[in-house]
């Protein structure tokens, strides 16, 4: 039976289901209180970016001509309608979690989040003084006079919309004002003098509310409601293939903050007449509007004060020292003897940083090459590259300046590296370079030798503390030679003379080789042999790959998926995907690694990857999928994947209804895969 179009979930609806899994963590009473607050922040931050990018894209599609719309395989208006329905439901649940679970539990620990009517006299005086001393220069009060004067709303800035009447005419018509909540200049959460609890806190929003009458002295304040506008974050470059691409990106970045609206968020308690007035004033369409609670920009909960109550956080897991490299006397000698693998954040990232610091000071290292997609703002790796140049080494860095929301940071790093003498290569038109590769050339007694580091994650010391990724160090010539060819292509834009036999590289052999491996499993299943595919990734969205997996299911291939985010494939449909089981794991660390395993009639192929199975990754990026040949490292990966497949604490089953039901195993033993992975790796390190 051939899979029908019906069995394909639109990527944005599936993504909303993923973000709901984040919200599930916020309402899980077994999660420590401050971690639940952090998950509220993650949910809000995720949603903000979703509207700035994905929803903005649908708005743009509504504006195109009929001919272009006919070429689409979906109706953007219908998708927007479904998105808004889902988000409205989730936002109501968000408010319920915050108001009825988080706030009461904070009170149990002596932390009171107060509103202005809760304040005692001393606290009111504090709030009034704080407003005059710290906030007054930033609030920018404006009297709204309809569409005659249309104030510009900054992207993601918080505003208080005010309903009021003239004191001289209390029975007259309503007037409206606007005040900025200056969370871009001041902390969102302000400690108050002690009152109801051990720790009393007020949000900046409510300090503004308390002082509104001070800004509009001729009016009686009837009510106040918070609003926020999210703007399209896409960089619109008419033609990447002509002119100076980097200059075009810089020009487009300067316009990002004035992009068209993609979401207008307002307090759901706002009366209809006030809402209609704002809608007309700011020229908002129905597709722009979204109801939320009393407070917006809830990603500010990342900065909620913890008052030193560490027992309300996750118990810290000390990153494991990877002794074979971190304690190696001869760093490159250790890599030449055997392959090594770190799994951050369980392992310390120090081995990766040391690779570059050793290369910078090693007198026998002659060349260093790296791909920069996202790096830390204070990057020891980038600093090591600049030191290497001073030491007389040839250093080149490919800087992908189209990494969304890191464009400015990458441009700054590129300029800094160039000034230091690093040879910097910048983005290609039409594609992104998303591979995570580094290459080091070292002159040794037997001649020049190559060392490479290949990873599923970025060269980023900060995200390595929370993103779960694999990285492999190797001097295996089968791999190093092909990594060298990738860098040669990036630096010269000349097609390599030899084909890639070991690496799967985007724009060359990546998609075709993946399809071939799926086909091999199909042939093995048809021949009566055992056939199995295990895939772990962030997102599975590419329609061709989904169809191939359905064909594999039909042939009897056993398929297990671990998908953190988007999953457009629908598992468990009789005759279509009944051999496919899909789970998603959301826990304290963000699952970011990609692992692809093909049984291959017992000669199992195991790959790690920078690429998800999305159209953008497989067709419009230069990605690298790399094989794991070392027997010990292969066994580690298999054990970790086995642990994840057996998770019965944080794994959710994926289905066509987006139920996000927690997976239950028959075992009485609770298996929380991230904790089990940490202790599995800890035992390995202790037994070295």
Q: How far apart are CA 349 and CA 463, in angstroms?
A: 10
Say which residues have a Cβ less than 8 Å from residue 293's Cβ, sequence separation at least 6: 91, 94, 95, 98, 99, 267, 268
Is the distance from CB of 31 to CB of 40 less than 8 angstroms? no
Closest C-alpha to 590, from 170, 62, 18, 44: 18
Q: How many residues does the chain have?
A: 688
> Of 556, 559, 548, whose CA–CA distance to 527 is shortest?
556
* Contact predicate 410/474, CB 8 Å: no
For residues 416 and 406, what is the distance between their CA atoms, to the nearest angstrom?
15
- Chain centre distance of CA 397: 24
Residue 434 annotated as catalytic: yes
Inter-axis angle of helices 380-390 and 350-361, nearest 10: 10
Looking only at the bridges linking them, the beta strands covering 467-474 and 340-344 are antiparallel
Are 325 and 334 contacting, i.e. CB atoms less than 8 angstroms apart? yes
Contact between residue 357 and residue 384 where contact means Cβ atoms under 8 Å apart = yes
d(Cα 468, Cα 593) in Å, to the nearest integer?
Answer: 6
Contact 399, 426 (CB under 8 A): yes
Rounded CA gap, 155 and 153, in Å? 6
Of 343, 347, 434, 592, which is the active-site residue? 434
572: left (phi over 0), alpha (psi -120 to 50) or beta: left
**111-114, strands of its sheet edge to edge:** 111-114, 199-203, 189-192
CA dist., res. 39 & res. 49, Å (int):
15
Is the torsion defined by CA of 501, 505, 507, 509 positive or negative? Answer: positive
**Comparing C-alpha atoms, which of 203, 230, 227 is closest to residue 291?**
227
Please state, in angstroms and rounded to a whole number, the distance separating the CA atoms of residues 387 and 380.
10
| C-alpha to C-alpha distance for 154 and 174, rounded to whole angstroms | 25
Q: Which of 563, 571, 560 is nearest to 657 (CA)?
A: 571
Which residues are catalytically annotated?
434
């Amino acid at each position: 039976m051939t899979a029908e179009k019906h069995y394909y979930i639109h990527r944005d609806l599936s993504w909303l289901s993923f973000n709901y899994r984040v919200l599930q963590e916020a309402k899980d009473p077994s999660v420590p209180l401050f971690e639940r607050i952090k998950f509220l922040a993650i949910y809000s931050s995720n949603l903000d970016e979703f509207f700035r990018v994905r929803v903005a894209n649908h708005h743009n599609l509504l504006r195109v001509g009929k001919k272009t719309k006919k070429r689409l395989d979906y109706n953007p208006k219908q998708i927007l309608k479904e998105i808004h329905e889902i988000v409205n439901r989730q936002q109501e649940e968000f408010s319920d979690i915050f108001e009825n679970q988080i706030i009461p539990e904070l009170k149990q620990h002596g932390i009171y989040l107060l509103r202005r009517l809760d304040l005692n006299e001393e606290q009111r005086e504090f709030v009034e003084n704080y407003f005059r001393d710290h906030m007054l220069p930033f609030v920018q009060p404006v009297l709204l006079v309809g569409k005659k004067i249309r104030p510009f709303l900054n992207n993601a800035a918080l505003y208080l919309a005010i309903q009021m009447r003239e004191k001289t005419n209390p029975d007259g018509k309503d007037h409206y004002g606007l005040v900025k909540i200056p969370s871009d200049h001041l902390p969102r959460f302000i400690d108050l003098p002690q009152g109801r609890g051990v720790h009393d806190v007020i949000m900046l929003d409510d300090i503004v509310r308390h002082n509104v009458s001070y800004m509009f002295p001729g009016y009686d304040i009837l009510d106040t409601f918070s609003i926020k506008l999210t703007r399209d974050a896409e960089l619109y470059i008419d033609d990447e293939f002509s002119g100076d691409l980097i200059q075009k990106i810089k020009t487009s970045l300067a316009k990002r903050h004035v992009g068209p609206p993609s979401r207008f968020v307002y307090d759901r308690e706002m009366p209809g007449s006030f809402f209609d007035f704002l809608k007309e004033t700011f020229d908002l369409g129905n597709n722009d509007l979204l109801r939320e609670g009393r407070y917006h920009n809830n990603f500010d909960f990342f900065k909620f004060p913890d008052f030193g109550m560490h027992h309300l956080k996750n118990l810290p897991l000390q990153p494991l020292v990877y002794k074979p490299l971190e304690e190696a006397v001869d760093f490159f000698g250790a890599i030449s003897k055997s392959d090594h693998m770190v799994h951050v954040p369980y392992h310390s990232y120090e081995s990766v940083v040391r690779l570059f610091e050793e290369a910078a000071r090693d007198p026998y290292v002659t060349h260093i090459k790296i791909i920069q997609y996202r790096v830390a703002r204070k990057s020891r790796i980038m600093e090591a590259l600049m030191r290497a140049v001073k030491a007389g080494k040839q250093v080149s860095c490919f800087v992908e300046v189209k990494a969304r929301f890191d464009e400015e940071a990458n441009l700054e790093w590129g300029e800094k590296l160039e000034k230091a003498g690093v040879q910097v290569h910048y983005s290609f038109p039409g594609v992104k370079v998303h591979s995570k590769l580094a290459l080091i050339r070292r002159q040794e007694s037997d001649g020049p030798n190559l060392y490479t580091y290949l990873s599923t994650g970025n060269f980023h010391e900060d995200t390595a503390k929370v993103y779960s990724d694999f990285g492999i160090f190797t001097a295996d010539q089968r791999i190093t030679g092909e990594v060298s060819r990738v860098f040669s292509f990036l630096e010269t834009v000349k097609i390599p003379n030899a084909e890639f036999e070991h690496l799967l590289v985007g724009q060359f052999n990546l998609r075709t080789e993946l399809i071939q491996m799926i086909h091999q499993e199909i042939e093995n299943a048809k021949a009566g042999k055992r056939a199995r595919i295990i895939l772990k990734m962030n997102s599975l969205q590419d329609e061709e790959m989904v169809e191939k997996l359905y064909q594999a299911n039909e042939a009897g291939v056993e398929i297990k998926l671990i998908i953190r985010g988007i999953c457009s494939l629908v598992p468990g449909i009789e005759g279509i995907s009944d051999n496919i089981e899909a789970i998603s794991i959301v826990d304290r660390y963000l699952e970011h690694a990609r692992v692809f395993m093909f049984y291959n009639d017992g000669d199992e192929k195991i790959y790690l990857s920078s690429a998800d199975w999305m159209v953008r990754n497989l067709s419009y990026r230069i990605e690298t999928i790399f094989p794991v040949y070392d027997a010990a490292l292969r066994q580690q990966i298999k054990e970790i994947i086995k642990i994840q497949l057996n998770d019965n604490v944080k794994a959710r089953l994926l289905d066509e209804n987006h139920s996000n039901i927690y997976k239950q195993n028959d075992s009485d033993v609770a298996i929380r895969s991230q904790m089990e992975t940490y202790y599995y790796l800890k035992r390995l390190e202790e037994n070295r």
